[in-house]
Amino acid sequence: MAGEFGVVSYGVELTDDFLIAIQGSVQDAGARITELENAGDSRYQASTLTVSFSGSAADLRSAVQSHLGNGMGCAVVPPPLLSEGRKLLIMDVDSTLIRQEVIELLAAHAGREAEVAAVTEAAMRGEIDFTQSLRSRVAVLKGLPVGVLAEVGATIELSDGAEDLVCGYLAAGHAVAAVSGGFAQLLDPLAAQLKLTYAEANLLGISDDCHLTGEVVGPVVDRAAKARYLRCWAAEAGVPMNRTIAVGDGANDLDMLGAAGLGVAFNAKPAVREAADVSVELPFLDVVKHFSRH
């Protein structure tokens, strides 16, 4: 795709030598730098080169890859995300929008946290089927009083920068969505708090006597479902797929990241980092705000 690309460098400390090397590498690849913008932040730094380039985003990524060191990253933003018009940001929830894995917080109330955490890790690495693993993890919650949902909800912590990222996109008129392999009973209040445009997650079964049944009601939100929601919400919001950004950390996010205009791995498992267009290895979710033009 030819046109105007963004080359976004970010890290805890961007040295002058690093930035000069990145500029040199994109020029060596045949790109012409048309604009340079540095964004100061007390937690991390970001620098955006706007370049005119006749090759592909993959070509530019290849050109800058060898310059990346620990704590530094670089995203190549394709032309549609730099163009005017509404965009859609869609995010995974557990370990992405929020710091924790909700299923593990719930399992702690059943005294099964370590066991469930091990299964979660394997599922996120793609080693076991997500739907099967989710049903087995939810089964250990059977008999817990429904009140644990409110208790766990009160302990949820947004990732650093999450609220700024969401508010910034919404204020610019974009759509923001969250899709989770976790649970609607916990995502819905969070979505309302953040004023998300769309949100979807699994529904935990609750018995007539207000206890968890240990089952998921309805189809599981798996990796294929996440990609379907992305496409559906983009169409509903009037956003072309090439103006969508998806962010996630586990194997359950792979289809969604692949379908989006830009797939971002956020402190992700190795297989996800390798498959994504961008890999962010910083704890600051609002780095993503630099990956499009508002």
CA 237 to chain centre: 19
- Contact assessment for residue 256 and residue 110, using Cβ atoms and an 8 Å cutoff: no
Kindly state the DSSP code that residue 288 receives in the 8-state scheme.
G
Total H helices, total E strands in the chain = 12, 11
User: Whose structure tokens read 């530094």?
Assistant: 72
Residue type (1 letter), 120: T
DSSP E strand boundaries for 141-227: 175-183, 198-206, 212-217
> Angle of helix 57-65 relative to helix 16-28, nearest 10 degrees?
140
Residue type (1 letter), 20: I
Catalytic residues, which ones? 92, 94
> Which residue, 237, 290, 232, 288, is CA-closest to 256?
232
